Structure 1
Amino acid sequence: MNRSAKAIWNGTIKEGKGTLTSQSQTLNKTPYSFVSRFENQPGTNPEELMAAAHAGCFTMKLSADLTTAGFTPEELSTEAVVSLNNGVITRSALTVHAIVPDITQEQFNKIAFASKETCPVSKAYNLEITLEAYLN
């Protein structure tokens, strides 16, 4: 399976701007720029997209792992925060809140931390990955 996205950039790094389009068209000429990346202005940026990819992948992997272990998750809500420091992407911090009937916090933690290590995006990222796991 292959997935693709296309970036178009016009101009210099600070004054220029670009768009991102994904194969599925979920991103369709979505704007990004220096100010959307470094000054929190409207538009997306690579770190936000990395965070979305990590949150989505980890949550799907956790659902699969819980199901395999005999638990049926009612809801999994994951936030990923990707950090860019001095020009280096250094960390992805995952926080998951879950509603899973008939599971203990200990069982949930064991499965969640294993999912963090084995989700395909975690395996692809060469950075520190942390996890906080809360069972509601």
Structure 2
Amino acid sequence: MSRNHHHDGAGPSQRQLRVGETIRRALSEILQRGDIHDPDLNRMSITVGEVQASPDLKIATAYVLPLGGQGQDQVVELLARNKAELRRLIGKKLELKYTPDLRFRIDETFDRMDETRRLFGQDDVRRDVED
């Protein structure tokens, strides 16, 4: 399922978007500051592109990418391994009644943007676009 596809045709509610964005900011900050007690995770620079909250706000899926795109499998594994601590820190930081369960996926929109840039950089494509 792609990130922008919803079953009922309606997009996420304002509340889902707000919770997702709040969690995204908190998670980014926690990862940047290295608040997690996992040296493997702290060594990595991770971009949190988006966090999507489920309609019942019980699950938050974070779309992440390690800097430079290297070690994608490892980054998802490390985040999953530290999920309980991340969730606890987010809950403390945001003072949420209920902190959603965290899921981690690789953010593929970055790959698509790079691919688009690469395509537009090719001479024959550039010629077609400019004609």
TM-score by length of 1: 0.46
Hey, which of these two has a bigger chunk of strand by percent?
A: 1
Hey, which of these two has a bigger chunk of helix by percent?
A: 2
